[in-house]
């Protein structure tokens, strides 16, 4: 449901149906709503069967990369003699994204349940939920839910009376965007600087504490519960476009839109309807100018592209962008694209971990040039330099933070180059002019 | 032993065959191709962060960091094509945006990898128009000074202190372009091996306080040598300016010191430049010593030794060659050969097996023992009144002043005349180890060559030459024109050294034990 | 604006003074209940190092910031070097490396909030707390205001954090009410 708004009839509330329902936060309330039945069912199954159901459902990672979850789980080879770990990536810090926050603060037990199922499925006895430090409220509810689950014997050495050990621990981050990158998250969990690691080795071979590890996004793990309850076929049937994108997806919407919030729709939903119908369209007297549909790291879409998009992994790619984390940033005609992109670049410069040369130096340099153009001090030469730097920053570093900084620059200059040029040539961008353009 | 699987690939059109698991960067080295890099160092963990060593592997979607990518069968690797050159040009430009162009006042200039690679393949200009980042210079303690403005964050220093010194006093602080190498207030780079971070630093960010502003890299003459300051036998370069040793640097040797040397060895070089040297041969004339021709001095010494039993006190800093010729003196009439050794605390580099600053603070203790000299705390205790005492480069410092006085006569063959001796008959001035060629035997029995780095003062001559002449004056048949001749004689006379020669030793040395084994199996 | 002023408080004169002109002696954090708390944390991980971030949080909870003494205490307990701990502390923006005023106000100004008027919210806070400048404590040392990168509540522009408390949908006209509500 479109928290904080009333549910829209075109939404399909599977994961979000209890958002805003304060009772669902407690163990009793959660159980009344069918909670922990999926875990009970899972613990009675063989781990490989759970993996197969998830594979069959077509569930793909909801953190941004869209990797098939069941396949990821199948990389964890049982009986290798090493402890296995599940890490739940709750470091939601991609600008524009706040769906996991809603899951954790309204249905914390759903995540505990999802983690327990995931851990069991990959042969792990321990799951860590890495929550960003700024999420004080979600942290509070998650810690409470974990405590309740331990007290009720759902977690612990004899999880739900099955004799199986499942531990779930909440781990609080301390302010670093990059810890949402899975290998940086593992380093941070180990008590290190949140520096991404070189792959290989991949986490399934050597992850956190040098052991085989699976890292899943909050929404991914939570989605496993209804999949187990209602079956892979049911989940797979929720598909409006490409059969490779199944189920429902939470989209968090922010920026210059009438109803910002979190919405849940079936994969393949028309983006135009989503923006104008569910999200209420632009404010009175305004027009949409651009959308960044998958969190700050994905290419900017023009409205022509956005209007033609079907909301799934393939649909966004077909229209020049990516589904990413499902964080939709809507920009209206009152905004200067240069200002928006400069502010995004500053974010990435602030968050660069400092390991790779291109990222450490490139993000800061990009920011300086963009802010210069924003302030009317730029030159046409600066635009060439920006593009050249952006290309040097793409595909050359350990992780994709560098690429993420380059992406809005490249797509911004390509699609909204006239705004840059107008500022360089001394013209102020007025909303009317931008609308005409 | 399991056979190592070999992998065949092509790098820059050249076929290469290396063991499985080798990185592309190391594989390229075997084909004589240097892939530019900064953060990679063969003795440290691989972080893959500088992104300088990116190469194109055909069929791979992205450029690959060659330091962190293992070779694979049939790989085709391009190091110097348009794509990789463009990528490296990009990295170099990024590295330089905040790097001051202060090469004219930077000690690293001339041996700076950022300078070298920028000249080689960087942009001619920079497109950066903004102010550069500034951080003040910091004294890191020990011999190390940190110039953060020049730092390229390769983290070699941090990894050395953490992984090899096991003393993580350095860190990367802050993040993004604010990042710099940091340390904790009050915890300095005092580890006995810490100064290696200066050598590891590819740029002028970590500098030696001792060497600061002393010389430009291109003014230095370099000679391959062996550190004389303990029995480890670390391979070094002696770097000389104006006939004065300016600094010592480690020289890689996989079997002895990898890439490193300790701070004690590194900084203990001033004695090599001492000015109060014995420069002229001298012969006693009444109550004082007077300068004499070499021939006269040699014959005076020979006359004293002709019928006497010599008592020879040697320095364990002398070469195998000099010590061997001294044993020839002992063989004539019998006699005693003794030495003492200065000692100190052992200080290992824990991350590397069998590498330490050793307790015995002299290079050739093992050589002296192998050649039959006796180690003693009080080496002159058994000196007899009829003995002619030969002091071979021992300064007698700390010994009782009169301990040498009971000798009939004293012959000094040394770099300086010990103080407080009134019965010196002859002084034969010799070169110190930086001024001559020779070999040392380290504590594991490894024989290693050192070469001449500077000229000896005055009329001082190489020790082997002086001793050869002295033996000649006593009637020996051999004559030596080169130190290698002496070594050849040693190798034929002494079983432990048999089979060895300067050619076989090369510049990395060989263990005597191995030579013995080689001979046994022959 | 320099990125540095976003990460934490920049104030050279804010060292640990108790007002008497002497530096206050450091009180160790980990004894009694907090020591037990740390032991519980340690039991959750296979390595001691993994308890570093949580342990630093405890130091900040007790002292209000993470001093070098605090880093050294944690380092010793977890068998790390103080330099290592400092490297970690400086990586994460939420650890205060200086004491902060009673109310540490962080306003999200990343792009999604930026296009919804976050800059005006920052201005309102700077004015009404009389701090005037980002990162500088107010004259009564009660407030400091900084811009912070994405707080992850973009749909509730503009979110702010006052110490550990999250306030959503802040607009310039709500600032006075928010400040008045603070005890």
Nearest CA among A106, A147, A112, A149 for reference residue A128? A112
Whether the pLDDT of residue C182 is over 60: the answer is: yes
Q: A355 and chain B: CB distance < 8 Å anywhere?
A: yes
d(CA C100, CA C61): 12
Q: What are residue A147's phi and psi, to 5 degrees?
A: -60, -45
Residues 28 through 57 of chain A touching chain C, CB cutoff 8 Å: none
d(CA B100, CA B96): 7
Residue of B nearest to C91 (CA): B174
Beta-bridge partner residues of B517: none
Nearest by CB to A385, from B87, B127, B172: name it: B127
On the 0-12 / 13-18 / 19+ scale of CB atoms within 10 A, A304 is exposed
Q: C82 and chain B: CB distance < 8 Å anywhere?
A: yes
Chain B positions touching A354 (Cβ under 8 A) are: 153, 172, 174-179
Q: C3 and chain B: CB distance < 8 Å anywhere?
A: yes
Nearest by CB to B184, from C7, C86, C91: name it: C86
| Chain centroid to CA A1 | 18
d(CA A400, CA A380): 28
Number of Cβ within 10 Å of residue A209's Cβ equals: 18
On the 0-12 / 13-18 / 19+ scale of CB atoms within 10 A, C23 is exposed
Whether the pLDDT of residue A422 is over 60: the answer is: yes
Q: How much is the pLDDT for B479?
A: 86
Q: How much is the pLDDT for B401?
A: 66
Whether the pLDDT of residue C7 is over 70: the answer is: no
Contact (CB, 8 A) for B388 and B407: yes
Q: How much is the pLDDT for C19?
A: 43
Whether the pLDDT of residue C4 is over 50: the answer is: no
Q: How much is the pLDDT for B404?
A: 87
d(CA B39, CA C74): 30
Q: How much is the pLDDT for B209?
A: 97
Q: CA A411, A412, A417, A420 torsion: positive or negative?
A: negative
d(CA B199, CA A373): 42
Q: What is the pLDDT of residues B391-432, one digit of tens each?
A: 999 999 988 767 888 899 999 999 999 988 889 999 999 999
CB contact under 8 A, A361 and B95: yes
Whether the pLDDT of residue C11 is over 80: the answer is: no
Q: What is the pLDDT of residues A225-237, one digit of tens each?
A: 999 999 999 999 9
Q: Which residues of B touch A (CB under 8 A)?
A: 46-52, 54, 62-63, 65, 68, 86-87, 90-91, 93-95, 97-98, 127-128, 130, 152-153, 172, 174-179
d(CA B178, CA C4): 8
**HEC per residue, B94-155:** HHHHCCCCCHHHCCCCCCCHHHHHHHHHCCCCCCCCCCCCCCCCEEEECCEEECHHHCCCCC
Kindly list the strands in the beta sheet with B6-11, ordered across the sheet, starting from the edge strand earlier in the chain: B14-19, B6-11, B76-78, B54-57, B64-65
Q: What is the pTM of this model?
A: 0.94
Q: What is the pLDDT of residues A288-331, one digit of tens each?
A: 999 999 999 999 999 999 999 999 999 999 999 999 999 999 99
Q: How much is the pLDDT for B374?
A: 97
Mean pLDDT of B433-461: 97
Band of residue B2 on the pLDDT scale cut at 50, 70, 90: low
| Secondary structure element (H or E) that encloses residue B284, with its range | strand B282-285
Contact (CB, 8 A) for C112 and C126: no
Find the helix packing angle between B82-97 and A357-374, rounded to 10°. 70
DSSP secondary structure code for residue A401 in this structure: H
**HEC per residue, A156-185:** ECCHHHCCCCEEEEEEECCCCHHHHCHHHH
DSSP secondary structure code for residue C24 in this structure: P
Lowest mean pLDDT, pick from B158-172, B301-315, C15-29: C15-29
CB contact under 8 A, C157 and A260: yes
For testing contact with chain C, the best of A84, A350, A401, A409 (most C CBs within 10 A): A350
Band of residue C8 on the pLDDT scale cut at 50, 70, 90: very low
Mean pLDDT of A228-250: 97
d(CA A56, CA A92): 27
Peptide bond into A200 cis (omega under 30): yes
Contact (CB, 8 A) for A185 and A179: yes
Share of chain B above pLDDT 70, in %: 98
Chain B positions touching A360 (Cβ under 8 A) are: 94, 153, 176-177, 179
How close are the terminal C-alpha atoms of chain C, in Å?
A: 31
* B324-to-B268, B306, B383 alpha-carbon distances in Å: 27, 19, 21
Q: How much is the pLDDT for B422?
A: 86
- Could you tell me where the DSSP H helices lie in A332-400? 337-351, 357-374, 380-392
Q: A101 and chain C: CB distance < 8 Å anywhere?
A: yes
Band of residue A427 on the pLDDT scale cut at 50, 70, 90: low
Question: If DSSP codes are grouped into helix, strand and coil, which group holds residue A44?
Answer: coil
Contact (CB, 8 A) for C58 and C29: yes
d(CA B462, CA B464): 6
Peptide bond into A201 cis (omega under 30): yes
Band of residue A80 on the pLDDT scale cut at 50, 70, 90: confident
Between vectors from CA A294 to CA A291 and to CA A300, what angle results, nearest 5°? 40
Q: A176 and chain B: CB distance < 8 Å anywhere?
A: yes
d(CA B252, CA B259): 4
CB contact under 8 A, C50 and A191: yes
Contact (CB, 8 A) for C179 and C124: no
CB contact under 8 A, A354 and B63: no
CB contact under 8 A, C57 and A174: yes
Q: A253 and chain C: CB distance < 8 Å anywhere?
A: yes
Residue of B nearest to C2 (CA): B178
* A135-to-A130, A139, C65, C144 alpha-carbon distances in Å: 11, 6, 19, 20
Q: How much is the pLDDT for A118?
A: 98
* B443-to-A172, B226, B338, B392, B440 alpha-carbon distances in Å: 53, 13, 18, 21, 10
d(CA B357, CA B294): 39
CB contact under 8 A, C157 and A254: yes
Higher pLDDT, A230 or B517: A230
Chains that touch B (3 or more CB pairs under 8 A): A, C
d(CA A359, CA A365): 10
Chains that touch A (3 or more CB pairs under 8 A): B, C
Band of residue B477 on the pLDDT scale cut at 50, 70, 90: confident
Q: A419 and chain C: CB distance < 8 Å anywhere?
A: no
Chain B positions touching A381 (Cβ under 8 A) are: 127
For testing contact with chain C, the best of A5, A92, A95, A194 (most C CBs within 10 A): A95
Nearest by CB to A209, from C6, C46, C156: name it: C46
Q: What is the pLDDT of residues A176-225, one digit of tens each?
A: 999 999 999 999 999 999 999 999 999 999 999 999 999 999 999 999 99
Mean pLDDT of B430-445: 97
- Could you tell me where the DSSP H helices lie in B13-81? 24-30
Contact (CB, 8 A) for A76 and A82: no
Strands B409-414 and B424-429 come out as parallel
Whether the pLDDT of residue B161 is over 50: the answer is: yes
| Chain centroid to CA A70 | 18
CB contact under 8 A, A137 and C3: no
Nearest CA among A178, A132, A173, A172 for reference residue A354? A178
CB contact under 8 A, B178 and C3: yes
* C22-to-A81, B313, B518, C16, C25 alpha-carbon distances in Å: 57, 62, 73, 9, 9
d(CA B68, CA A198): 8
Strands B409-414 and B388-392 come out as parallel
Query: What DSSP line would sit under C81-126, residue for residue?
Result: -HHHHHHHHHH-TTS-SS---SEEEEEE-SHHHHTTTHHHHHHHHH
Q: How many helices (H) and strands (E) does chain C have?
A: 8, 4
Q: What are residue B142's phi and psi, to 5 degrees?
A: 60, -140
Band of residue A428 on the pLDDT scale cut at 50, 70, 90: low
DSSP secondary structure code for residue A248 in this structure: E
Burial letters for B421-447: b for 16+ Cβ neighbours within 10 Å, e otherwise? Answer: beebbbbbbbbbbbbbbbbbbbbebbb
Peptide bond into C158 cis (omega under 30): yes
Residues 45 through 104 of chain C touching chain A, CB cutoff 8 Å: 45-47, 49-54, 56-57, 78, 80, 87-88, 91-95
ipTM over 0.90: yes
| Chain centroid to CA A377 | 36
Mean pLDDT of B1-16: 90
d(CA B21, CA B150): 34
Whether the pLDDT of residue B516 is over 70: the answer is: no
Residue of C nearest to A184 (CA): C91
d(CA A104, CA A90): 9
């Amino acid at each position: 449901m479109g928290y904080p708004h009333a549910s829209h009839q075109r939404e399909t509330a599977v994961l979000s149906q209890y958002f805003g329902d304060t009772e669902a936060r407690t163990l009793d309330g959660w159980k009344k709503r069918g909670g922990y039945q999926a875990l009970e069912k899972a613990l009675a199954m063989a781990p490989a069967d759970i993996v197969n159901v998830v594979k069959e459902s077509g569930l793909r990672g909801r953190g941004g990369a869209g990797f098939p979850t069941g396949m990821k789980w199948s990389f964890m080879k049982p009986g290798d003699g090493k402890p296995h770990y599940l890490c739940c990536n709750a470091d939601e810090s991609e600008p524009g994204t706040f769906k996991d926050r809603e899951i954790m603060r309204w249905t914390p037990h759903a995540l505990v349940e999802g983690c327990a199922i995931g851990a069991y499925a990959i042969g792990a006895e321990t799951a860590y939920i890495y929550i960003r430090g700024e999420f004080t409220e979600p942290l509070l509810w998650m810690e409470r839910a974990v405590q309740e689950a331990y007290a009720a014997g759902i977690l612990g050495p004899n999880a739900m009376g099955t004799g199986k050990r499942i531990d779930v621990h909440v781990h609080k981050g301390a302010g670093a965007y990059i810890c949402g990158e899975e290998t940086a998250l593992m380093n941070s969990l180990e008590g290190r600087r949140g520096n991404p690691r070189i792959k290989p080795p991949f986490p399934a071979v050597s992850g956190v504490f040098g052991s085989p590890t699976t890292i899943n996004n909050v929404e991914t793990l939570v989605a496993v519960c209804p999949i187990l309850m209602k079956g892979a076929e049911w989940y797979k049937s929720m598909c409006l476009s490409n059969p490779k994108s199944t189920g429902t997806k939470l989209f968090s919407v922010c920026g210059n839109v009438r109803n910002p919030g979190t919405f849940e729709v079936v994969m393949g939903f028309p983006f135009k309807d989503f923006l104008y119908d569910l999200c209420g369209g632009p404010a009175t007297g305004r027009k949409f100018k651009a959308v960044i549909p998958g969190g700050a790291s994905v290419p900017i879409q023009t409205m022509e592209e956005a209007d033609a998009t079907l909301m799934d992994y393939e649909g966004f790619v077909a229209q020049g962008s990516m589904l990413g984390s499902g964080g939709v940033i809507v920009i209206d005609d009152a905004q200067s694209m240069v200002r928006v992109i400069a502010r995004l670049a500053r974010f990435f410069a602030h968050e660069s971990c400092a390991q790779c040369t291109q990222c450490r130096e490139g993000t800061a340099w990009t920011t300086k040039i963009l802010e210069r153009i924003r302030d009317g001090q730029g030159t046409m030469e600066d635009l060439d330099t920006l593009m050249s730097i952006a290309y040097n920053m793409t595909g050359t570093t350990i992780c994709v933070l560098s690429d993420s900084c380059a992406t809005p620059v490249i797509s911004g200059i390509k699609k909204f180059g006239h705004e840059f040029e107008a500022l360089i040539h001394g013209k102020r961008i007025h909303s009317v002019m931008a609308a005409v353009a | 032993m399991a056979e190592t699987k070999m992998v065949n690939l092509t790098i820059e059109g050249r076929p290469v065959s290396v063991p499985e698991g080798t990185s592309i960067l190391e594989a390229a080295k075997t084909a004589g191709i240097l892939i530019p890099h900064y953060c990679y160092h063969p003795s440290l963990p691989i972080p893959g962060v500088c992104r300088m060593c990116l190469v194109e592997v055909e069929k791979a979607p992205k450029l690959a960091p060659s330091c962190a990518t293992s070779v694979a069968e049939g790989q085709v690797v391009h190091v110097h094509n348009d794509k990789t050159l463009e990528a490296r040009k990009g990295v170099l430009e990024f590295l330089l945006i905040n790097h001051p162009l202060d090469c004219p006042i930077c000690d690293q200039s001339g041996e700076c990898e950022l300078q070298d690679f920028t000249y080689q393949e960087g942009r001619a200009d920079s497109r950066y128009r903004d102010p550069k980042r500034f951080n003040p210079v910091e004294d890191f303690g020990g011999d190390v000074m940190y110039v953060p403005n020049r730092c390229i964050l390769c983290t070699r220093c941090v990894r050395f202190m953490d992984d090899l010194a096991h003393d993580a006093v350095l860190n990367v602080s802050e993040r993004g372009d604010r990042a710099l190498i940091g340390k904790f207030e009050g915890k300095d780079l005092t580890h006995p091996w810490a100064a290696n971070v200066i050598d590891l630093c590819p740029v002028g960010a970590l500098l030696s306080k001792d060497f600061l502003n002393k010389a430009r890299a291109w003014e230095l003459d370099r000679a391959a040598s062996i550190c004389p300051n303990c029995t480890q036998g670390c391979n070094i370069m002696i770097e000389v300016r104006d006939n004065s040793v300016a600094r010592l640097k480690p020289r890689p040797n996989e079997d002895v010191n990898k890439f490193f040397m300790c701070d004690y060895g590194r900084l203990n070089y001033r004695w090599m430049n001492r000015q109060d040297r014995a420069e002229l041969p001298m012969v006693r004339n009444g109550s004082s010593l007077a300068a004499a021709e070499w021939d006269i001095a040699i014959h005076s010494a020979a006359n004293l030794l002709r019928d006497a039993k010599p008592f020879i006190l040697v320095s364990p800093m002398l070469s195998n060659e000099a010590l061997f010729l001294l044993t020839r003196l002992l063989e004539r009439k019998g006699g005693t050969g003794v030495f003492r050794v200065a000692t100190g605390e052992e200080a290992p580099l824990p991350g590397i097996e069998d590498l330490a600053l050793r307790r015995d603070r002299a290079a050739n203790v093992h050589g002296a023992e192998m050649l039959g000299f006796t180690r003693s705390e009080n080496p002159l205790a058994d000196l007899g009144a009829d003995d002619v005492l030969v002091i071979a480069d021992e300064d007698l410092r700390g010994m009782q002043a009169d301990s040498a006085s009971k000798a009939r006569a004293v012959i000094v063959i040394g770099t300086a005349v010990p103080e407080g001796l009134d019965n010196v008959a002859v002084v034969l001035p010799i070169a110190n180890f930086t001024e001559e060629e020779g070999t040392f035997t380290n504590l594991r029995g490894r024989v290693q060559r050192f070469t001449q780095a500077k000229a000896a003062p005055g009329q001082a001559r190489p020790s082997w030459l002086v001793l050869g002449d002295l033996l000649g004056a006593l009637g020996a048949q051999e004559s030596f024109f080169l130190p290698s001749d002496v070594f050849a004689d040693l190798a034929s006379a002494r079983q432990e050294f048999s089979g060895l020669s300067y050619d076989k030793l090369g510049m990395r040395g060989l263990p005597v034990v191995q030579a013995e084994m080689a001979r046994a199996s022959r | 604006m320099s990125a540095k002023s976003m990460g934490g408080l920049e104030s050279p004169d804010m060292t640990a003074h108790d007002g008497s002109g002497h530096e206050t002696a450091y009180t160790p954090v980990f004894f009694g209940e907090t020591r037990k708390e740390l032991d519980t944390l340690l039991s959750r991980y296979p390595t001691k190092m993994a308890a570093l971030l949580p342990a630093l949080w405890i130091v900040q909870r007790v002292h209000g910031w993470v001093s070098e003494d605090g880093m050294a205490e944690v380092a010793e307990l977890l068998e790390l070097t103080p330099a290592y701990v400092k490297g970690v502390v400086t990586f994460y923006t939420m650890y205060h490396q200086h004491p902060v005023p009673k109310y540490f106000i962080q306003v999200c100004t990343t792009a999604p909030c930026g296009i919804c008027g976050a800059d005006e919210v920052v201005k309102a806070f700077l004015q009404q707390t009389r701090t005037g400048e980002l990162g500088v404590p107010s004259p009564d040392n009660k407030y400091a205001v900084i811009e912070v990168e994405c707080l992850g509540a973009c749909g509730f522009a503009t979110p702010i954090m006052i110490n550990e408390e999250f306030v959503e949908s802040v607009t310039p006209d709500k600032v006075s009410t928010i400040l008045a509500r603070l005890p």
